Amino acid sequence: MDTKKKELVGDFAREGQTYTQVEIETLDHDFSSAGAGKVIPHGLLDLAKNIGYIHLNMSHDTSEFCCDSVALWWEGQGIVQSPTATRLLILCDGGGSNASSRYVFKEALQALANRLRLKIRIAHYPPYCSKHNPIEHRLFPHITRACQGVVFHTLEVVKNYMEKAYTKTGLKVVVSILDGIYQTGKKCANGFQKTMEIVFDKLLPRWNYEAIPQ
């Protein structure tokens, strides 16, 4: 599970080359005010099935967005593929919207476990170790390649090109647009740490813990 670089949506030039039948004009400066906003992707990779799931939003990269992305995957695909599952194991980086040190993420995670009625086990990669996360080399580089040189005129264009990503080993990519407005700067509810059902491992508890449905 991870989020990658946020890109401007609009008539902005992007790195790389692509082939077209007509000339495409772009703006000569990347002023965000001239575009429709930034696209924020959140990605998940099913290692067993070699399927990547990308959820796009144009609000903010928050813990709630991160957990809504997981919920969208589970309710749309995960539960169909694994109807008897009682718990999830999620590997993720230690910073950003799913930062290991932020209780606002743990609060969103607790709400996710309650919503899905699943135990959700989190295993964070420590700082400078995210390069070992399989999603970093089995999904994201191929998404980047599929979108190389493409002008992101609209969110639908982003979706269509990301879905074209593939590998010779059979990677498939499913892309959805996750509507919603996510506010930044939120803090945990008072008393959350006393009422949460987050069980920390005895070994490396900072990086490994499990949210249990309440």
Q: State if pTM tops 0.85.
A: yes
Question: Measured between alpha carbons, how far is residue 163 from residues 7, 59, 102 in Å?
Answer: 17, 21, 32
The pLDDT assigned to 26 comes to 87
Question: Contact at 8 Å (CB) between 166 and 142?
Answer: yes
Model confidence at 1: pLDDT above 70: no
The pLDDT assigned to 168 comes to 95
Three-class secondary structure of residue 85 per DSSP: coil
Query: Dihedrals φ, ψ of 139, to 5°?
Result: -130, -60
Tell me the per-residue pLDDT of 17-29, one tens digit each, with 9 for 90 and over. Answer: 887 888 888 888 8
Q: How far apart are CA 31 and CA 133, in angstroms?
A: 33
**Domain ranges (residues) in the chain:** 2-18+28-211
- A 10 A CB-CB count for 193 gives 12
